[in-house]
Amino acid sequence: MPHVGHATGARPADYRRRTPEHTVLHQTLSRHFAQFRDQADEQGGLPKFVLREVEEYLRCGILEYGCALVVCRDCGRGQVVAFSCKRRGFCPSCCGRRMNDAALHLTDRVIPKVPIRQYVCSLPWQLRTLLGYDRVLCAAVLRAFADELSRSYKRRAKRELGLSSVNQAQFGAVTFVQRFEKLQS
């Protein structure tokens, strides 16, 4: 174990290690991913980022791939905590934690207590694949979408509020790229 940390807040007795190895997703990938990868290699292979995501997920939360002993400063009790992959694209636990942390940060520290609206920009499959490999192009498409929303809101504000100009109008947006889709049955 690399180091001993000191916990504050939740008591170690309240912590229960998640057991990803017992989930259907983990069991399925553990059993079948190597064969799937071999078959994909025959067809040109999987992108490196896909391989990295799956391989990291298969190690996430598993004690044998790394852990830390966390000791409570108050009572001295220790708890072994498995390392997580902290990946962004595939691991349900790490993605969920990241999503929760981001939402909490936005609601508590960024977005004022004003009415907000959510928009979704969904693109055709061919563009999704292209944008998945080109970060610069993805950012440009996202920027164009946010810019058009800004123009639309400013035009509406000018019309509905009878403004002579929207030069001083402010528009804010928080954007996220989502890389999954509900499959049609």
The confidence score (pLDDT) of residue 147 equals 94
From 61, 63, 81, 62, select the one nearest 71 (Cα to Cα). Answer: 81
The confidence score (pLDDT) of residue 35 equals 96
Regions of the chain with pLDDT less than 50: 1-2, 7, 11-12
Name residue 72's beta-bridge partners.
7
Burial (0-12, 13-18, 19+ Cβ within 10 Å), 24: exposed
Token code pair at residue 96: 């969920």
Positions of E strands within the chain? 4-7, 67-72, 78-82
57 Cβ contact partners less than 8 Å away, ≥ 6 residues apart? 26, 29, 85, 87, 90, 91
Taking only the tens place, the pLDDT of each residue in 41-57 is 999 999 888 899 999 99
The confidence score (pLDDT) of residue 1 equals 44
The confidence score (pLDDT) of residue 40 equals 94
Do residues 77 and 13 touch, judged by C-beta distance below 8 A?
yes
Report domain extents, the chain.
4-110, 118-185
173 Cβ contact partners less than 8 Å away, ≥ 6 residues apart? 146, 149, 150
Token code pair at residue 185: 């049955």
pTM of the model: 0.58
Residue 163 gets which letter from DSSP?
-
132 Cβ contact partners less than 8 Å away, ≥ 6 residues apart? 138, 179
The confidence score (pLDDT) of residue 166 equals 86
